[in-house]
Amino acid sequence: MAESAQRRVERSLFLRTLFGGSRSGATLERVAALMRDVPFAAGEVIYRQGQASHQIYFVVAGEVVLGAPGLTPWTFGPGDGFGFQDAMQEAPYARTAQAVTPVHALAFSVEDWFDVLEGHPELGRGALADHSVSVAAMIDELGLALAFPRAHPAPAAAGLDRPVGLVERMLMLSDASLLVRAGIQAVAVLAQRSRPSLLSAGTPIARAGEARAGRLWFAGRGAVELRRGTEVGHAAPGSLVGSLAILARERLDADLVAATDALVLELSEDDVLDVMDDHFDLARAVFSYMARERARLMELRARVRAKSA
Amino acid sequence: MTAVDSKRSPRFSLIDLRAGERGPLLIAASTLFGLVAAHSLLETARDALFLGQLAPTRLPIVYLLVAALGLGLTDLNARFIRRFGRRNALVVTLALFALGTTWFNFRPVTAGLAIGLYVWSALAGSLSVVQFWLFAGEAFTSAQSKRFFPAISAGGVLGAVVGSAMAVGLLALLPVGSLLLAACVLALGTAAVVAQTPEPEPTAPRDLSPAPALGGSARLLAEHGYVRRVAILVVSSTLAVLLLDYLFKSQAAARLPKEELGPFFARYYGALNTAALAVQLLLAGRILRRFGVATALAVLPLSLALGSAGVLLLGGSFLALLFTRGADGALRHSLHRVSAELLYLPLDPALRDRAKPLIDSVLGRSSQALGAAALLALASFDLATPRVLSASVIALSLTWVVTALMLRRPYLDLFRQSLGRGVDAAELNLDDLDLGAAETVIEALSSPDPARALAAMNLLADAKRSRLIPALILYHDREEVLLRALEVVPEARREDWVPLAQKLLDHPSERVVTAAVRALGRFGKLPQMARATGALRAFLAVERLSRAGDEHPEEDPEICRMLAGDTPDCQHARAALAGAIADRKDVAFSRLAQRLARFEEVEVADVAIAALGAMGSTADLPFLIRCLDVPRHRARVVQTLAGFGDRALDALEAALTDAALSPRIRRELPRAIGEVGGERAAKLLFDALAADLPGLVRFRALRALGRLVRNEGVKVDRPRLEAELIRNLLEALRFTALEAAFDPDAVVPDAARASQRLLAGLIADKQRQARERAFRVLQMLHKNEDLRSVYFLLQSDDKRMRANALEFIDALMLSAKDEPRALLRLVVDDLSPSERVERAEAYLQGRPRTRHAALAAMLGDLDDALATLAAYHVRAQSVAELEEEAGAVFSQRRWVPLETVPPPLVHDGGGGG
């Protein structure tokens, strides 16, 4: 009994430390109650590549390495979470997780996580904010060109003289990488609230230093560039310009420019968060996107660091 | 019968069959048919031969032999199955059955042979049946088992009928030995059928370890309450049936000449098996579906108890005995057999593999041995009379009934466990903390990591244990720690913090100084300060105006300077002003607080909103409600409104129906009402569900109500909730019908492909939402169940988990009314859209049956999004007959209208937008 009360307090302290004061204590206590302590011996395999990803883990103490053939290993220490990427994407674990040293971790079922998120939207908003800060830091380290490479030349937006109707907006948003797993109902509401802009090649959408004021931009048709000094990043059709890192920027740190004739959909961050509250499929889609984005950037960063080491 | 049942097509009334299931079902049913037919023939032969050679008083010896040998075989059987698989074990057993039976046929008939044949037939029969049901249990999911087992059992009963009929026919022309050869042929044929089927995939890795020893079996019973109850049921039923069987055979032998025994048993068993078939086909499935497994199990023992009472009261009447034994014969291999097999479904497969052979074979055999020994003892004292035996059967049957009925809850509990995820979410209660845990928290306060120190402070503050936070925390070097400490540590009952807080009045951070001024001012501990900071000026201004009873403090020149200024000093002053107003709780400052609440500075607005709550004036409620329009204030506003308690509900109720309020505000109202809590809030939310409100507001009301029910246990109006459940289930079916008629995979012109995809996606979404809402309502009706898990598992890719979820729902809804139960089954069952629609025909009067009709229905739908998308699709596909309706949608609906003019093209250098 004594150990269990102490354990619970430790878990609670760990979560409150990790997630900070912006989350309600009651919410964090609920999360803490759903977690369980799991110890791993040095060298022990926590999960294997290819296994179903039902669990998310937080490292309380020790070191964990995630590896797979052909991929640069990732190392996680105290306070880091792992297993998220795959669980959020509802995909099998892409890497094998192994304890490097004796590890004390907290395990959490991914469905319990979604349960809590749905009942406590502020937790989701907080997770999104944390993610955007961490992704912004990775992008700053990598530079715009590496972080937002040109995938393939995007055709210029054609048919700029046609109305940008509801269906077209819905199609653009439903194909957007951020929203690809969202339900049509959520996409329809976002399409309704979006504001389309048709821009000729070279027209700025917004300038560096400008207050973002809660705006988000989706590259609908044509291509958009992020320009910061000599750095140039690319946003292909269907992408969220600047990725979710843009949520961490109160003021833009790069010019957003139409690289070709382009159609851009502008949405407010508040609208997206509002719709997430009511359409949990959208929240899951956003979390899945967060996981993919994070995995991509972590892999890039690991390769860059390995090269320079 | 429900309305749905009566209108279902004939093929559903006997067997609920889905695509691809016919083959496996036929194989299983024909296997049991052959197996039981062979056993029927053998059983008739053995009874005739035994009673022809020996006195009935020898039966107990045979029972004992069967029990003893059966015990020995159980372990062997379990190991054999584990090693070679269930299918191969059954094939080998049937082959050996045939071989052994043939050997008996060619031996001279002696008393020894009669005993040997009796033992052989009992062992071979029970072993092969156990193996068959283990095989079937793994081949089908729990949902399939529930649907198929009655049909499979019917195959077995039919086998018994045919076997008995064959016995009658053969005995008219040939000696008894011919029955053995016929049984052998049937057994071989059945083995050949089984050999063709694939081995079922194990649901858990095959356990090749040695079978548990007797001690392990005892531990199994000791540790698993459910298994123990099933064991008691099997023991009491075995004893009751054994005693009844002895009573019946001894009375038959006493009343009939030996040469008539064979034909008598053949005809009697034939009649019983026919009755059993009728029960199986017409009643078993219905009883199971309507009353559940536990109640179905009680039918047979109740019949035996009543029948035996008749035998007892009528002085051993043979007619009463025939009827009693008849009830046994009609029900045991039909309704009872199916129900008994279903009892094992909720068990984990590995546990099932251990428990079933233990119970069916070991305990069954041991019970037979016990019964046989009891019979021998009774016979030796001339007490094996109809009176004593029928009284014993009554007592055992009543034990059997009670045990069966007591299985209902544990049966459900096991399914519940198999569906559960995560741990039991018990919240941390600091009252439970021992010294060690408290030390951990207090130690964390001194952590060099400011986040950990903050975490510890927040934890203690949330638990209302701020007094455990030492005042020395006010020496901390981090600003965020000091700010939080100045909020939670100061209280009237403590003095230790005062000098430390006073020292902070000289802190380099203005935010810390502001917080210190506020804390000290709140408790009247503010000393004379040399430096007139903005915070001090704000606090003193509030003091001055409040003491003077000024009714318009917002017009005071000093206050106006603080509000208008843009300097950091003014910003700090505003923050301090809001804090001082909150602490003062003087309603005269209400208008000033409202002005502060409109500031962009989050810190200022946040505290000002809290101040309005602290003042507690209901006149501020409309303002607070309007603040819900600003996303960054929402959480604080909701918390503040909740602080008003029931006093806020009048204003919130009026706002719900105030169409002049922005949709954004109205959407937030259910959450605010939910946070107020209590029975009246629950009633408001209930009313909102049925009111003419936007769909999103009603959905949020449903969510908020669910939270209230879960967190506060408010009473629910069950009839209204059931009506809401039915409404959502019907809505889900309506969209299923739309989907089936619309046919999302239909080939359409290129121009219509995009709108086709979106429309199909929207219909699928709406189906899913209606199902989800139904489950939210169901959760409120069953607040102690984890229906959220069930909802997710019903969408799982794992068919066994889906089946378990279905069985759980079935069992849970047994006590519900017919309509919601039937509708829920229709919505959640594993069916294709067209099958689902066909079965739900009774509830979908006037449903669209063609694509054209589906589009017309969507154009007339109340949902603007659906109607508008349908209108787009009509235009894209150029459906001329619906052009007028589509035009009406575009002109009348409030959803995004069709844009006829493209937005202006923006060039670099301005213009447009």
- State pLDDT tens for residues A11-39: 888 888 887 765 677 778 878 888 889 99
Whether residue A180 lies within 8 A of chain B, CB to CB, comes out as no
A84 plus A166 within the same structural domain: no
DSSP class of residue B106 equals T
The answer to whether the Cβ–Cβ distance between A192 and B459 falls below 8 Å is no
**Segment 734-773 of chain B within 8 Å of chain A by CB:** 754-755, 758, 761-762, 764-766, 768-769
Partner residue facing B426 (CB), from A33, A165, A197? A33
Residue type, B16: D
The answer to whether the Cβ–Cβ distance between B422 and A111 falls below 8 Å is yes
- Give the domain-ending residue among B369, B393, B419: B419
In contact, B70 and B126? CB cutoff 8 Å: yes
Q: How far apart are the first and last CA of chain A?
A: 49
Range of the domain at A209: 129-308
B728 plus B701 within the same structural domain: no
B86 plus B38 within the same structural domain: yes
A293 plus A170 within the same structural domain: yes
Residue type, B688: A
Q: Which of B430, B454, B712, B908 to mutate to test the interface with A (most CBs of A within 10 A)?
A: B908
- Closest C-alpha among A193, A151, A165, A157 to residue A282: A193
Residue type, B532: A
Would B353 be classed as within a structural domain?
A: yes
A135 plus A107 within the same structural domain: no
B649 plus B751 within the same structural domain: no
Q: What value does the mean pLDDT of chain A take?
A: 87
Q: Is the pLDDT of residue B430 over 70?
A: no
Of the pLDDT bands very low, low, confident and very high (cuts 50, 70, 90), residue B4 is very low
Partner residue facing A13 (CB), from B444, B792, B902? B444
Residue type, B883: E
Would A124 be classed as within a structural domain?
A: no
The answer to whether the Cβ–Cβ distance between B762 and A188 falls below 8 Å is yes
Would B400 be classed as within a structural domain?
A: yes
- Give the domain-ending residue among B419, B442, B464: B419
B749 plus B679 within the same structural domain: no
Indicate the number of domains in chain A. Answer: 2
Alpha-carbon span B441 to B430, nearest angstrom: 11
pLDDT of residue B805: 85
Instruction: Tell me the chain A residues in contact with residue B902 when contact means C-beta distances shorter than 8 Å.
Output: 160-164, 198
pLDDT of residue B900: 42
Query: Tokens standing for B209?
Result: 């370890």
- Give the domain-ending residue among B368, B390, B419: B419
Q: What is the ipTM of this complex?
A: 0.86
Would A191 be classed as within a structural domain?
A: yes
Rounded alpha-carbon distances, angstroms, from residue B735 to A269, B738, B771? 32, 5, 10
B751 plus B835 within the same structural domain: yes
Alpha-carbon span B616 to B632, nearest angstrom: 22
Angle at B157 between CA B155 and CA B163, to 5 degrees: 100
The answer to whether the Cβ–Cβ distance between A200 and B907 falls below 8 Å is yes
Would B900 be classed as within a structural domain?
A: no
The answer to whether the Cβ–Cβ distance between B758 and A13 falls below 8 Å is no
B156 plus B216 within the same structural domain: yes
- Strand pairing report for A224-228 and A255-258: antiparallel
Alpha-carbon span B456 to B501, nearest angstrom: 20
Please state the separation of Cα B569 from the chain's center in Å. Answer: 59
In contact, B31 and B194? CB cutoff 8 Å: yes
Residue in the block written with tokens 């496996």: B24
Q: Is the pLDDT of residue A195 over 60?
A: yes
Q: Which of B758, B762, B868, B901 to mutate to test the interface with A (most CBs of A within 10 A)?
A: B758
The answer to whether the Cβ–Cβ distance between B898 and A166 falls below 8 Å is yes
Would B811 be classed as within a structural domain?
A: yes
A138 plus A256 within the same structural domain: yes
Alpha-carbon span B300 to B279, nearest angstrom: 12
Alpha-carbon span B866 to B758, nearest angstrom: 10
Beta-ladder partners of A268: A215
Range of the domain at B874: 723-892
The arrangement of strands across the sheet holding A262-268 comes to: A215-221, A262-268, A195-199, B905-906
Question: Which range, of A111-115, B14-18, B703-707, averages the lowest pLDDT?
Answer: B14-18
Alpha-carbon span B254 to B266, nearest angstrom: 17
Of the pLDDT bands very low, low, confident and very high (cuts 50, 70, 90), residue B267 is confident
3-state secondary structure of B712: helix
Q: Which chain A residue has its CA at the smallest distance from B456's CA? A: A13
B670 plus B779 within the same structural domain: no
Q: What percent of chain B has pLDDT over 70?
A: 92
Whether residue A193 lies within 8 A of chain B, CB to CB, comes out as no
Whether residue B901 lies within 8 A of chain A, CB to CB, comes out as yes
B707 plus B765 within the same structural domain: no
Strand (E) positions, B489-542? none
Query: A307 CA to chain B: closest CA distance, Å?
Result: 33
Q: Which of A9, A114, A269 to mutate to test the interface with B (most CBs of B within 10 A)?
A: A9
Would B848 be classed as within a structural domain?
A: yes
CATH no. for residue A273?
Answer: 2.60.120.10
Of the pLDDT bands very low, low, confident and very high (cuts 50, 70, 90), residue B436 is confident
pLDDT, tens digit, 9 for 90 and up, residues B344-369: 878 877 777 778 877 877 788 788 88
The answer to whether the Cβ–Cβ distance between B906 and A203 falls below 8 Å is yes
Rounded alpha-carbon distances, angstroms, from residue B137 to A163, B85, B202, B237, B274? 61, 13, 10, 22, 26
B710 plus B847 within the same structural domain: no
Query: B623 CA to chain A: closest CA distance, Å?
Result: 21
Indicate the number of domains in chain B. Answer: 3
pLDDT of residue B650: 94
A209 plus A286 within the same structural domain: yes
Would A18 be classed as within a structural domain?
A: yes
Q: Which of A1, A3, A6 to mutate to test the interface with B (most CBs of B within 10 A)?
A: A6
Would B331 be classed as within a structural domain?
A: yes
A108 plus A137 within the same structural domain: no
Query: Tokens standing for B340?
Result: 């008994």
B623 plus B680 within the same structural domain: yes
- Give the domain-ending residue among A119, A140, A155: A119
The answer to whether the Cβ–Cβ distance between A165 and B696 falls below 8 Å is no
- Closest C-alpha among A244, A253, A242, A250 to residue A276: A244
CATH no. for residue B638?
Answer: 1.25.10
**Segment 705-724 of chain B within 8 Å of chain A by CB:** 707
Q: Is the pLDDT of residue B552 over 50?
A: yes
Would A212 be classed as within a structural domain?
A: yes
Whether residue B700 lies within 8 A of chain A, CB to CB, comes out as yes
B658 plus B766 within the same structural domain: no
In contact, B764 and B739? CB cutoff 8 Å: yes
Q: Is the pLDDT of residue A240 over 60?
A: yes
CATH no. for residue B96?
Answer: 1.20.1250.20
B327 plus B194 within the same structural domain: yes
The answer to whether the Cβ–Cβ distance between A185 and B769 falls below 8 Å is yes
Tell the burial category of B366 from Cβ atoms under 10 Å away from its Cβ (0-12, 13-18, 19+): middle
The answer to whether the Cβ–Cβ distance between B908 and A1 falls below 8 Å is no
Q: Which chain A residue has its CA at the smallest distance from B663's CA? A: A274
Q: What value does the mean pLDDT of chain B take?
A: 85
Rounded alpha-carbon distances, angstroms, from residue A131 to A81, A128, A145, A182? 12, 5, 21, 19
Residue type, B255: R
- Strand pairing report for A215-221 and A262-268: antiparallel
In contact, B246 and B59? CB cutoff 8 Å: yes
- Closest C-alpha among B67, B42, B44 to residue B375: B67
Query: Tokens standing for B77?
Result: 């059987």
- Give the domain-ending residue among A66, A91, A119: A119
Would A66 be classed as within a structural domain?
A: yes
Would B278 be classed as within a structural domain?
A: yes
